[in-house]
Chains A and B, each alone.
Chain A
Amino acid sequence: KAGVTQTPRYLIKTRGQQVTLSCSPISGHRSVSWYQQTPGQGLQFLFEYFSETQRNKGNFPGRFSGRQFSNSRSEMNVSTLELGDSALYLCASSLEGGAGANVLTFGAGSRLTVL
Protein backbone atom coordinates (compact mmCIF):
# COMPACT_ATOMS: atom_id res chain seq x y z
CA LYS A 1 0.00 0.00 0.00
CA ALA A 2 1.45 3.36 -1.00
CA GLY A 3 2.27 5.75 1.84
CA VAL A 4 1.56 9.45 2.20
CA THR A 5 3.03 11.32 -0.74
CA GLN A 6 4.02 14.96 -0.53
CA THR A 7 5.11 17.15 -3.42
CA PRO A 8 7.34 18.93 -3.99
CA ARG A 9 9.98 17.63 -1.61
CA TYR A 10 12.10 20.76 -1.79
CA LEU A 11 11.40 24.26 -2.95
CA ILE A 12 12.89 27.71 -2.69
CA LYS A 13 10.82 30.88 -2.76
CA THR A 14 11.45 34.54 -2.11
CA ARG A 15 9.70 36.78 0.39
CA GLY A 16 6.30 37.94 -0.74
CA GLN A 17 5.66 34.99 -3.04
CA GLN A 18 3.10 32.30 -2.38
CA VAL A 19 3.48 28.53 -2.35
CA THR A 20 1.19 25.54 -2.70
CA LEU A 21 2.10 22.15 -1.26
CA SER A 22 0.31 18.93 -2.10
CA CYS A 23 -0.43 15.80 -0.10
CA SER A 24 -1.87 12.50 -1.28
CA PRO A 25 -3.01 10.39 1.68
CA ILE A 26 -3.00 6.66 2.02
CA SER A 27 -5.80 5.11 0.01
CA GLY A 28 -8.95 4.97 2.12
CA HIS A 29 -7.79 7.59 4.61
CA ARG A 30 -10.22 10.48 4.86
CA SER A 31 -8.41 12.71 7.34
CA VAL A 32 -5.41 14.84 6.40
CA SER A 33 -3.48 16.95 8.89
CA TRP A 34 -0.68 19.42 8.28
CA TYR A 35 2.18 20.25 10.63
CA GLN A 36 5.00 22.77 10.44
CA GLN A 37 8.40 21.73 11.78
CA THR A 38 11.11 24.29 12.57
CA PRO A 39 14.23 24.07 14.73
CA GLY A 40 12.96 26.78 17.05
CA GLN A 41 9.28 25.93 17.46
CA GLY A 42 9.37 22.20 16.80
CA LEU A 43 6.30 20.51 15.41
CA GLN A 44 3.20 22.67 15.32
CA PHE A 45 -0.27 21.76 14.12
CA LEU A 46 -1.60 23.79 11.21
CA PHE A 47 -4.98 22.28 10.36
CA GLU A 48 -6.91 19.09 9.76
CA TYR A 49 -9.34 18.25 6.98
CA PHE A 50 -11.91 15.49 6.96
CA SER A 51 -14.31 14.84 4.10
CA GLU A 52 -13.37 18.16 2.45
CA THR A 53 -14.11 20.18 5.60
CA GLN A 54 -11.62 21.87 7.88
CA ARG A 55 -12.30 20.31 11.24
CA ASN A 56 -9.57 21.88 13.34
CA LYS A 57 -7.09 24.71 13.01
CA GLY A 58 -3.91 25.62 14.83
CA ASN A 59 -2.67 29.03 15.84
CA PHE A 60 -1.31 30.29 12.54
CA PRO A 61 -2.09 33.50 10.65
CA GLY A 62 -4.60 33.60 7.84
CA ARG A 63 -1.78 33.48 5.29
CA PHE A 64 -1.81 29.74 5.88
CA SER A 65 -4.75 27.99 4.28
CA GLY A 66 -5.65 24.59 3.00
CA ARG A 67 -8.26 22.54 1.28
CA GLN A 68 -9.18 18.95 0.66
CA PHE A 69 -10.61 17.46 -2.48
CA SER A 70 -13.22 14.76 -2.91
CA ASN A 71 -10.49 12.14 -3.39
CA SER A 72 -9.03 13.17 0.01
CA ARG A 73 -5.96 14.75 -1.52
CA SER A 74 -5.08 17.97 0.22
CA GLU A 75 -3.21 21.15 -0.55
CA MET A 76 -1.94 23.86 1.69
CA ASN A 77 -1.13 27.37 0.59
CA VAL A 78 1.03 30.01 2.18
CA SER A 79 0.66 33.51 0.79
CA THR A 80 2.96 36.50 1.18
CA LEU A 81 5.85 34.36 2.34
CA GLU A 82 8.06 35.52 5.19
CA LEU A 83 11.54 34.35 6.12
CA GLY A 84 10.07 32.66 9.19
CA ASP A 85 7.95 30.40 7.02
CA SER A 86 11.05 28.41 6.13
CA ALA A 87 10.29 24.99 7.52
CA LEU A 88 9.56 21.36 6.85
CA TYR A 89 5.84 20.97 6.21
CA LEU A 90 4.55 17.55 7.10
CA CYS A 91 1.30 16.02 6.01
CA ALA A 92 -0.27 13.10 7.87
CA SER A 93 -3.27 10.97 7.05
CA SER A 94 -5.51 8.69 9.06
CA LEU A 95 -8.75 6.81 8.63
CA GLU A 96 -10.99 9.01 10.72
CA GLY A 97 -8.72 11.58 12.34
CA GLY A 98 -8.75 12.29 16.01
CA ALA A 99 -5.09 11.43 16.65
CA GLY A 100 -6.10 8.71 19.04
CA ALA A 101 -6.70 5.14 18.11
CA ASN A 102 -6.54 6.28 14.48
CA VAL A 103 -2.81 6.65 14.08
CA LEU A 104 -1.36 9.41 11.94
CA THR A 105 0.89 8.26 9.11
CA PHE A 106 3.27 10.99 8.01
CA GLY A 107 4.72 11.81 4.63
CA ALA A 108 8.36 12.70 4.08
CA GLY A 109 7.55 16.40 4.06
CA SER A 110 8.07 19.40 1.84
CA ARG A 111 11.05 21.51 2.78
CA LEU A 112 10.40 25.16 2.05
CA THR A 113 13.19 27.72 2.05
CA VAL A 114 12.23 31.38 1.87
CA LEU A 115 14.98 33.79 0.77
Chain B
Amino acid sequence: AQSVTQLGSHVSVSEGALVLLRCNYSSSVPPYLFWYVQYPNQGLQLLLKYTSAATLVKGINGFEAEFKKSETSFHLTKPSAHMSDAAEYFCAVSRGQAGTALIFGKGTTLSVSS
Protein backbone atom coordinates (compact mmCIF):
# COMPACT_ATOMS: atom_id res chain seq x y z
CA ALA B 1 0.00 0.00 0.00
CA GLN B 2 1.08 3.56 -0.58
CA SER B 3 0.86 6.45 1.83
CA VAL B 4 2.05 10.01 2.26
CA THR B 5 2.92 11.88 5.43
CA GLN B 6 3.24 15.64 5.45
CA LEU B 7 5.08 16.87 8.52
CA GLY B 8 3.54 20.02 9.91
CA SER B 9 -0.05 20.94 9.17
CA HIS B 10 0.85 24.61 9.32
CA VAL B 11 4.08 26.41 8.34
CA SER B 12 4.63 30.13 8.78
CA VAL B 13 7.42 32.09 7.09
CA SER B 14 8.30 35.71 6.48
CA GLU B 15 8.26 37.15 3.01
CA GLY B 16 11.65 36.49 1.40
CA ALA B 17 12.43 33.54 3.66
CA LEU B 18 13.06 29.97 2.59
CA VAL B 19 10.01 27.76 2.23
CA LEU B 20 10.40 24.10 3.19
CA LEU B 21 7.40 21.79 3.19
CA ARG B 22 8.10 18.20 4.16
CA CYS B 23 6.71 15.07 2.56
CA ASN B 24 7.59 11.44 3.24
CA TYR B 25 6.09 8.59 1.28
CA SER B 26 5.69 4.88 1.55
CA SER B 27 5.48 2.77 -1.57
CA SER B 28 6.25 -0.84 -2.44
CA VAL B 29 6.91 0.11 -6.06
CA PRO B 30 8.81 2.99 -7.63
CA PRO B 31 6.51 5.92 -6.96
CA TYR B 32 5.26 8.82 -8.97
CA LEU B 33 5.22 11.86 -6.68
CA PHE B 34 3.41 15.16 -6.98
CA TRP B 35 2.97 18.46 -5.23
CA TYR B 36 -0.30 20.33 -5.68
CA VAL B 37 -1.34 23.74 -4.37
CA GLN B 38 -4.86 24.80 -3.44
CA TYR B 39 -5.93 28.41 -3.05
CA PRO B 40 -9.13 29.22 -1.14
CA ASN B 41 -12.31 28.15 -2.93
CA GLN B 42 -10.34 26.65 -5.79
CA GLY B 43 -9.33 23.24 -7.01
CA LEU B 44 -5.83 21.79 -6.97
CA GLN B 45 -3.11 23.07 -9.26
CA LEU B 46 -0.06 20.97 -10.11
CA LEU B 47 3.22 22.49 -8.92
CA LEU B 48 5.56 19.70 -10.03
CA LYS B 49 5.87 15.96 -10.49
CA TYR B 50 8.52 13.27 -10.17
CA THR B 51 8.29 10.36 -12.59
CA SER B 52 11.69 8.65 -12.15
CA ALA B 53 13.68 11.00 -14.38
CA ALA B 54 15.82 13.67 -12.67
CA THR B 55 15.71 13.55 -8.87
CA LEU B 56 15.61 17.36 -8.61
CA VAL B 57 12.36 18.54 -10.08
CA LYS B 58 11.61 22.15 -10.90
CA GLY B 59 8.06 23.37 -10.92
CA ILE B 60 6.07 26.50 -11.41
CA ASN B 61 6.34 29.71 -9.39
CA GLY B 62 9.94 29.00 -8.36
CA PHE B 63 9.20 25.79 -6.43
CA GLU B 64 11.34 22.68 -6.63
CA ALA B 65 11.50 19.32 -4.92
CA GLU B 66 14.14 16.66 -4.52
CA PHE B 67 13.40 12.95 -4.59
CA LYS B 68 15.53 11.09 -2.03
CA LYS B 69 14.93 7.37 -2.20
CA SER B 70 17.12 6.58 0.82
CA GLU B 71 15.04 8.94 2.97
CA THR B 72 11.73 8.22 1.18
CA SER B 73 11.25 11.97 1.02
CA PHE B 74 10.07 14.50 -1.53
CA HIS B 75 10.33 17.86 0.23
CA LEU B 76 9.15 21.03 -1.49
CA THR B 77 11.29 24.17 -1.34
CA LYS B 78 11.31 27.72 -2.58
CA PRO B 79 14.27 30.02 -1.90
CA SER B 80 12.26 33.17 -1.26
CA ALA B 81 8.63 33.22 -0.16
CA HIS B 82 6.15 35.64 -1.63
CA MET B 83 2.86 36.72 -0.14
CA SER B 84 1.07 35.06 -3.04
CA ASP B 85 2.48 31.66 -1.98
CA ALA B 86 0.08 31.54 0.97
CA ALA B 87 -2.10 28.50 0.27
CA GLU B 88 -2.52 24.84 1.16
CA TYR B 89 -0.02 22.40 -0.29
CA PHE B 90 -0.59 18.71 -0.87
CA CYS B 91 1.93 15.98 -1.55
CA ALA B 92 0.61 12.94 -3.40
CA VAL B 93 1.88 9.54 -4.51
CA SER B 94 0.75 7.16 -7.22
CA ARG B 95 1.77 3.84 -8.71
CA GLY B 96 1.40 5.51 -12.07
CA GLN B 97 -0.49 2.64 -13.64
CA ALA B 98 -3.66 3.01 -15.67
CA GLY B 99 -6.65 3.51 -13.43
CA THR B 100 -4.70 4.09 -10.25
CA ALA B 101 -5.55 6.89 -7.87
CA LEU B 102 -3.52 9.63 -6.27
CA ILE B 103 -2.98 9.15 -2.55
CA PHE B 104 -2.77 12.53 -0.87
CA GLY B 105 -1.18 13.71 2.32
CA LYS B 106 -3.25 15.73 4.80
CA GLY B 107 -1.88 18.99 3.50
CA THR B 108 0.25 21.83 4.86
CA THR B 109 -1.08 25.35 5.11
CA LEU B 110 1.60 27.91 4.32
CA SER B 111 1.25 31.39 5.81
CA VAL B 112 3.49 34.22 4.63
CA SER B 113 3.85 37.37 6.69
CA SER B 114 5.27 40.70 5.59
Interface residues of A (CB under 8 A from B): 4, 6, 33, 35, 42-45, 48, 50, 55-56, 58, 90, 92, 96-101, 103-109
What residues on B are CB-neighbors of A35 within 8 Å? 102, 104
Q: Which residue of A lies closest to B102 (CB)?
A: A99
Contacts of B36 in A (CB 8 A): 106
Complex CA gap A4/B90 in Å reads 19
Task: Determine the interface band of chain B, counting residues with CB < 8 A from chain A.
Answer: 20 to 34
By beta carbon, the residue of chain B nearest A50 is B99
Instruction: For B94, give its contact among A42, A50, A100 (CB under 8 Å).
Output: A100
Nearest Cβ distance between residue A65 and chain B, in whole angstroms?
17
Which one of A48, A92, A101, A108 contacts B99 once the chains associate, using CB atoms below 8 Å? Answer: A48
Q: Is B106 an interface residue (CB 8 A)?
A: yes
